[in-house]
Every structure is written in structure tokens, then in C-alpha cells.
Structure 1
Amino acid sequence: MTTNFFRSKRVYNWYISTIAAACMVLYGYDASVFNSVQGSSNWKAWFNNPDSNVVGSVNTAYTVGAIFGGFFCGGPIADYLGRKMGMALGCVLVIIATFMQTFAPYHSIGCFLAGRCIIGIGQGIALTSGPIYIGELSPPEIRGKIMTLWQTFYSVGSFICFWVNYGCTKHTAHLGEWDWKMVVLFQLLVPVIILILLPTIPGTPRWYIQRQNNVDKARKALRRVRESEEEVEEELNQIRGALEYEKEAISSNYSALWKDRSIRYRLLLALVINAGQQLTGQGSLNSYSTIIYEKVFTSSSQIALINALNATFGILFTLNAIWIIDRFGRKILLIIGGIGMAICMIIVAAVETETPDLANGAKTQSVGISLVFLLFLFIFFYKPSWGATVWIWTSEVFSMNVRAQAVGMASQTQNVANTIFQQFFPIFLEHKGFYAFYFFAGINLVLAVFVFFFIPETKNVPLEEMDVLFGGTNHKIQGENMLAEHKLGVGAGNDEGVVLDRAKPADSAHIENSEVKNA
């Protein structure tokens, strides 16, 4: 039952999704915070002027923690303790790690590194639970729009971090060492807000049924987010049917990840596009834009302002996905985004490498403005496509029995790719300069081709019917048949009760594909 404030169920859907999506602010802020503080001379002095290898290790510490949290902790916590508990535990770890980084002893980079690792674990756990929560409570017809909040809030995190950093760079003389400590400490804001608001949102009905077998709690949760009792009962039957089928015909645990061919196939696809997301060039821009811009501009304050404006436009560009994601679909966005990013990267590399340097090593003002414009145009293509859409597609394609673990593994593949590539990117950039951007252009073209041939469209497909797109059976229909069998068997009172015939997998797949196309 909603409060009087939330008279519209649709408004309440957006409210609860906003709280869950705020977990992505943690990721956006932290992906930007080290990018910001490494430009501070006070940070460098506090940690004894670390070299490029140590700088790479600080980023690696975070990604290793995130990989551990996402691969090994996020799924089990979300499945056994609940999606809300996963978000809460992730926030608590972020808060602890923030204090460790802020108050790391003088010249003790080890404490800062440990904090980065713990904050990665916390985010790996929270980033597994958040998108699953949104996907499981959002109505199918607006699921894409609501999931757009997820990537939008990544940009919000970057926005907060870069503007805080810009303000600190303008008052470095007054703040001293707090010019970087303030940037790190401000990360406390969002996890505290999430922890305060979590008690006001329901658990997910799928989790209530799967883990507690509590239909009443599931029904109560659905009544808070669905418009009619008919919708509630219909969705309850779909969930129960799908879970029944997954439990009896496939596996109720994570072994389905390798037992079920269609799940193996979609996991492989999800791993590829999530790794690809970080190889588009956006991961490197987030982590090292300060170093990149130092090759063009000489003023640290000017670079901080460019980063802040980049994050601001990132929010606006991501919001484009709200009106196009459910209208045009996921696939076309990924293809257009990949091609657009490739073109931007080719031009960026050409403009920087084919223009002369000034005496101080920087570029002329017109070249600098051109490069900033092109990199802003890059995020115009990236944010609604490979930024938002990858998360949306990943969170909706897996069946309930493996969803939490599969989403955790797939999403943390981003950090696997980041860990490998970002460790040597500073060296790559130092030796090859902007020629490195040709590499990103090639990767983006390959990703667009991959999506064209291998990624199916998931627009408007109910979660319980998603398996049909990947050569599997319709879990909803098969489960309803199983439930009907059980009821009729019990009603007959003996082993010879009437049973409904089950369609053969091949026949049902043909029928169900038609149903999905007509959805």
C-alpha cells in the first residue's frame, strides 16, 4: 500500500527505481574521483609522488575489488539475502572505504590502495543488486525507460565528483591537502541517502517467491507497483510458473549457467558486450582524461572545468535514451552508437596528431576546442547506447534462476577489461600519444558488427519469456503447464489424475517465437 504522496503507481515505480539506480552514482563518482585527485599536487606530495606504475595500481586495486565483489559476492548476496540487502551492504562498504582513503596516513599509499579495493567490493555487490531490482519491478512497457536511470546516475556521480573537484582546484591555496580529501570524502553523500531511503521501498516479488516461497509478500509488493489486481495476479502466475519450470526442468541453482545451452549462449553475449563497453574508449576517458587533456592544455583548473562540463553533458546525453530505448529498441542503438564513436575517435586522433605543437608542448586554442568538442560528441553517441543500453540488455535477458549471478558476472567483465587495459593505457598514451585513439575506433567498428549479427532485440519482451529469443523454451508457459499438472493431480486424489499435455520443446519454441514477435 503506497503512501498518499505516491498516489500514482507509475510515479512510485520511478521513485523506487531512482533509489536503486542511485547505486550507479557510487560507480560514477568513484570512476571519476581518482581521475580528479591524481591531478592534485597535494595528493602527489601526500603519497610521496607515485610513479605511473603506482597510479595504474591504484586503479587496478579498485577493479580487482569490484571483480571479486561482482563475480563471487554480488550474486549470492542478492539471491540469498535479497536485492535490497545487496544494495545496503554495498553502501556500507563504500562508506567504510571512503574514510580509509580520506584519512590514509602520510606517505601510506597502501592504506589508500586498500580503501580502493574495499570500495570496489562494495560497488561490485551494489551494482549486481541494483539493476536486477529495477528490472524485476518495472512494467515491461517502460522497463527500458526506467533502466535508463541506471546509466544516467553514473553520469550524475561523475557530475558531482568533477564539479566538487573543480571547486577545490579554485581554492587549492586555502584548502591545502583538503583539496583532494574533500573530493574523496564527498563520496559519503549518496550511500548515506540510499541507506536512509531503502526501508521505504518493497522487496522484489520474484525473490519473495524464489527464496521464501511467500506468495503473500510477493502479492503485497506487486500491489505497490501495478495498476490493477488483474495485473498483479497475472504476473504472480507468470513468476510462479517460470520458477517452477526452472526448478524442475533445468536447475534451481547456478549450475544452469553451464547446463542450459541458451543461458550459456546469452552469458557469452553479455560478457562480450560488457567487456566491449570498456574498450570503446569511455573507460580510459573516465580514468585518464586529466592525463589526456594535459597533452593539450596546461592549466589544471581549465582541465577540471572541461571534466566537469563533460559530466554535465553526459547526464543530458544519457537522458536521450529515455525516449528512444523503448521506441527504437536496444539493437539499433548499439549499432549506431558503435559507428558514431568510431568516427569520433578517428577524427580525434587525426586532429591531434596532424597539427603542430606550441613551444610549451600544448596545442593552439582552436585545436584544443576542436578536440574537446569531438570528445563531447563521442559521449553523445556513447551514453544512450553503449553506456545505458548495455546495462539494460544485460539486466533483462537472464532467467530468474541465474539472473543475479549472471548479471554480476557480466557487469564485472567491464572491470576485467578495465583491469587489463587500464594498467597499460597510461604507458600506451605516453609512448604513442593520440595514435592510441585509432585503436578505440577499430574496436567500436568491430562491436557494431558484432551486435548486428549476434545480439537479438529484447524490446517489450516480458522477463519470463526472454528465453525464447535465445533458442530456449518459454519458461512461463512450461511452468504454467507444470502448475496445472500439479493442481489436477492433487484434485484427482490419486496417481492417475488428469494431466495436461506438455508441448515438445521444438514445437513450443516455434509457437513462443510467434508470441514474442506479436508482443
Structure 2
Amino acid sequence: MNDDKKAEVVHTEDVVPLQAPPEDERPWYKQPELRKLYLMMPFLFLGSTTLGYDGSLLNGLQTMPAWQSCFAVLVFTPYVADLCGRRLGTAIGCCLVILGAAIQASAKASNPDTMFLAGRFIMGMGSNISNATCPLLITEVAHPRHRGKVTTIYNTVWYVGAILAAWTTFGTLIHLPGDLSWRLPTGLQCAMPGIQLVAIFLLPESPRWLISKGQHAKAKTILTKYHGNGSETNFVCWEFNEISGTLKLEKMASAESGWYEMVRTPGNRKRCLLIILTAIFSQCSGNGLVSYYLSAVLNTIGITNSSNQAAINGGLTIWCWLVSLGCAFLVDRVGRRTLFLISGIGMLVAFTVWTACSAVYAKTGDSAAGSAVLAMIFLFYSAAGFAWPGLTVSYTVEILPFKIRAKGLTLCFVFTSLAGIFNQYVNPVGLETLAWKFYFVYIAVLVIECLVIYFYYVETRGPTLEEIAILFDGKNANVAGNGMQVVQRVVTIDEEKNEK
């Protein structure tokens, strides 16, 4: 090759990880301060458990005013998280939940509607605030090596609250007379936020929030204590420098126009679309049929006894929790995108068989086909548990830069609620009009979902919370140069052909 030929070059870019300083490789339970941090995490998980308890307790009692109050509160939620901090924001939410639950439980028997609705509004405010601050604190204070698993566990314990509410109301309806049968489970909503309120200040504040407020020394003290077990190791210094440098770059580059920052850059627009799709898929993949209308679905296959339906519902809820909790420990081993894809394909297969068996039962009344539908419902939720219960929140918070993390999580909740409205008001019409044929709508949705996940979702396993920005923004990412860098390679055209 002559010199002129060699001059023909191609510029390519690779994202290359830089070598981070060595960290303590011991398991978390053998590191005293990290062990202490993670043993306090269940107090933050109570935010999701409270939401699950409330949702199960009042399933089917949602009204349009309740939805409107939900959306009104969501607009202000990120400002509470960003201005007051993750801990104080959680405490404010807990106080409102306790107040709302107390008002509901003490509603006058002669005219309970006004007090009950007022309590619902206040409690809705509180639960939305605490549910928006808890996952932020979890993901921002966790060690980089454990961030994915710990944050994914958060949303799976929603089922624990649902299980507690279901069995509490079952017991009080049978054993307690009169108003006490509903006042007691309503008042018990104070228990979990009460525990959380007492314990929240035992947990450290988010180092990232502290740095954003100029409190660098406090942030470094927290990182040193929990990520360095009390020693200011090279790893702690590296992590602190990456966080503080990245937040400084974010601040310099971001717009000061609030919500506009969500769509200002191509990377942020992609993040927003992923968040919206994740929220919708988490609710509208066929799971809403069972979540809201299990009784109607079971009626279509001949299971009409209320006791049998209640037992199936209780068993399904416990099964969903166990599957989703187990899958939360796979996020770093298997990867987020892979789990989403396994879940989507699994749900598609199960739902297709579910639909076919429903058609057979509708035409023949064959009890075996009805039993197969019930089995497919459990298999469908097993597949869903690989991703949607846990990753809906954890994937959302980790793909967002700190500057818009609270707003992006709010965007997720808004579209989750909108999808919930669809489930509540469209599904019953479809089931009543088309019966099992309505399932074809969700087969089409699941096909689209699998394609979108395969071609559009971004794998986030591996990088730190700050370094994930490079996956979306490339060389324009506002990331301090500690962890990853975009390296430009220069190769001849012949070399490029050989590489291909």
C-alpha cells in the first residue's frame, strides 16, 4: 500500500472503561458499615409496601376525583425530592399518609363520605411523595456493585403490602362486626409509614443530593463510611470525584427551564420515550386483565365460586412476589434488557396459549381447557415477574442523570397511572363485549413490546450511575473522566474492511 492509500482513514469511536481503583471485594454482609446500610434498606422498601397495601385495600374503589388528585400531586413531587432531599421528602410523605389514614379511619358513621374522600386525597399526596423519594435514595446511596439488585427489590415488595391488605380485610370482615371491619384495616395503613418515619433519619442522605447542594464534606463522609467501611480508600475518592465532577458538568450543560430539560437533548428524549414505554408496558401487557378483573376472567372459564376466586387471587399474589423477588437478584448477572426480553417473549407465549384455551373452553366447555387457562395465568405472571414488577422503577431511575432523575420518575408514575385508567375503564368493556376474543388486542401489544425491547432498549448493566449517561449521550455525555471515556481510533480503510 502506498503513502496516498494509507492517508485514506476512518475515524471511529469506542466507549472504553478506565480502570477503577480496587475496592473491597468481600460480600456486603462481611463489611460492617455496608451491612449496616443494607439492613436499614427495608425501612425504605416500606414506601412500596405502603402503596401495595393501599392499592389492594381500595382496589375497585378508585374514582375520577382520586385520579385527578393523583396527577395534581405528581406535578409537585420532584420538587419535594430535589428541594427537601430524599430523606426529608420521604418523612413528609409518611406524615401525610399517617394523617390521611387517620382521617379515613375516624370518618363519622353518619356521613363518612366527606372525611373519607378528604383522607384519600391527603393519603394519595403522601404515598406519591414517599414512593417518588424512596427509590431515589436507594439507588443513590447503594454501592455501585449492588445498586441494580437493591433498587429492583424495592418495587417487588409492593406485593407484600397487597398480601397484608388482602388477608387483613379478609379477617376483619369475618371476625369483626359493623364499621370496625373497615375502620381497622384502614387505620392500619398508619403502621408502615409510622415505622418508616421513625427510621428514615437512621439512613444516610443521598451523597449526590448533598453534593448538588454544595455539601461535599458530608457527602464524602457518607461514602467513606458506607462504601469504604470508614476508610477513605482510593475507591471512595474515585467515586466521590466522579459524582461531584459529573454533577458539576450536568449543571453547566443543563437548561434552567425545569421540565424542558427532559426533552432538550437527543439522549434525554430517548430516555423519556423509554420511560413512557416501560410504564405503559408494565401495565398494559395483559396483566391488567388479572390485576383488575380476575373475577371476570375466571368466570369465562367456569370458576365462579367467590371463595375459589379469592383463594386463586391470594395464591397468585404470593406467587408473583416470590418470582419477582427472585428475579431481582438476576439483574446484574443476566442484564436488564435481557430480562425485559425474556419477560416479553414469555408473556407472549403464555398469553397466546391462554387465548387458545379460552377459545376451546368457550366452544366446548371442556374443563381441561379451563384448567389450562388457569395454569397459563400463573405462567404468564411468572414471565412478567422476570422484569416488570422490579425493573419498572429501577430501570427508570438509573437511566436518568441526577438533574432530571426525580422528574423522570414522576413521568413514569404519570404514565403508569394513565395506563391504569385504561385498564379500569376499557378492559371491562372489551371483556363484556368480546369475551375471550378481546385477548387478541394484548397479543398484538405483546408482539410490539418484544420488538421494541429488542431494537430500542439499552442495556445498563455494568457502568456506575454516572457512567450510564455515556450509553445515551455518547461523546457528549456530561460525565467526569474517571470511569469511562470515548476513545477515537484512526484506521486505514483496508484495516476497517478487515475488522468488518
Query: Which category of TM-score, normalised to the shorter sequence, fits these structures?
Result: 0.7 to 0.9
> Pairwise mapping of residues 25-424 of structure 1 onto structure 2 (< 5 A)?
25-35=49-59, 58-70=62-74, 72-104=75-107, 105=109, 109=113, 111-169=115-173, 171=174, 174-211=176-213, 213-227=214-228, 228-230=231-233, 231-251=235-255, 254=258, 255-293=260-298, 296-356=302-362, 369-424=371-426
Report the CA distance between 1:357 and its aligned residue: 9.3
Q: Any conservation in 1 of the 2:339–2:387 contact (CA below 8 Å)?
A: yes
Q: Any conservation in 1 of the 2:69–2:124 contact (CA below 8 Å)?
A: yes
Letter in 2 for 1:285: V
Q: Matched residue of 1:447: which SS?
A: helix
Report the CA distance between 1:419 and its aligned residue: 2.1
Matched residue, 1:516: none
Q: Any conservation in 2 of the 1:135–1:395 contact (CA below 8 Å)?
A: yes
User: Could you tell which deviates more after superposition, 300-309 or 398-407?
Assistant: 300-309
Root mean square deviation of aligned Cα: 2.9
Distance change (3 Å), C-alpha of 1:357 and 1:93? farther
- Taking structure 2 as the reference length, what is the TM-score of the superposition? 0.82
Distance change (3 Å), C-alpha of 1:59 and 1:433? farther
Report the CA distance between 1:297 and its aligned residue: 3.1
Q: Residues of 2 paired with 1:434 and 1:192: CA distance?
A: 44
Matched residue, 1:41: none
Q: Any conservation in 1 of the 2:286–2:442 contact (CA below 8 Å)?
A: yes
Q: Residues of 1 paired with 2:170 and 2:210: CA distance?
A: 45
Q: Any conservation in 1 of the 2:342–2:386 contact (CA below 8 Å)?
A: no
Is 1:20 matched with 2:44? yes
Q: Any conservation in 2 of the 1:60–1:423 contact (CA below 8 Å)?
A: no
Q: Residues of 2 paired with 1:441 and 1:119: CA distance?
A: 36
Distance change (3 Å), C-alpha of 1:355 and 1:377? same
Q: Matched residue of 1:203: which SS?
A: coil
Report the CA distance between 1:421 and its aligned residue: 3.6
Report the CA distance between 1:310 and its aligned residue: 1.5
Q: Any conservation in 2 of the 1:397–1:467 contact (CA below 8 Å)?
A: yes
Q: Any conservation in 2 of the 1:100–1:111 contact (CA below 8 Å)?
A: yes
Q: Residues of 1 paired with 2:169 and 2:371: CA distance?
A: 21
Distance change (3 Å), C-alpha of 1:431 and 1:183? farther
Equivalent of 1:468, from 463, 467, 470? 470
Q: Any conservation in 1 of the 2:354–2:376 contact (CA below 8 Å)?
A: yes
Q: Residues of 1 paired with 2:368 and 2:343: CA distance?
A: 27
Q: Residues of 1 paired with 2:198 and 2:345: CA distance?
A: 42
Q: Matched residue of 1:297: which SS?
A: coil
Distance change (3 Å), C-alpha of 1:92 and 1:428? farther
The percentage of counterpart residues that share the same residue type is: 25
Report the CA distance between 1:18 and its aligned residue: 2.1
Q: Matched residue of 1:477: which SS?
A: coil
Q: Residues of 2 paired with 1:318 and 1:164: CA distance?
A: 23
Q: Residues of 2 paired with 1:426 and 1:101: CA distance?
A: 29
- Taking structure 1 as the reference length, what is the TM-score of the superposition? 0.80
Report the CA distance between 1:452 and its aligned residue: 0.7
Higher helix share: 1
Letter in 1 for 2:216: V
Distance change (3 Å), C-alpha of 1:388 and 1:210? same
Letter in 1 for 2:148: G
Matched residue, 2:458: 456
> Pairwise mapping of residues 497-512 of structure 1 onto structure 2 (< 5 A)?
509-510=486-487
Report the CA distance between 1:261 and its aligned residue: 2.6
Q: Matched residue of 2:361: which SS?
A: coil
Letter in 1 for 2:138: I
1:493-517, CA deviations, whole angstroms, 9 ceiling, x for partnerless residues?
A: xxxxxxxxxxxxxx964569xxxxx
Q: Any conservation in 2 of the 1:61–1:114 contact (CA below 8 Å)?
A: no
Distance change (3 Å), C-alpha of 1:164 and 1:257? same
Q: For structure 1, which runs of at least 5 residues remain unmatched after alignment?
A: 39-54, 482-506, 513-519
Q: For structure 2, which runs of at least 5 residues remain unmatched after alignment?
A: 1-28, 490-500
Report the CA distance between 1:110 and its aligned residue: 5.5
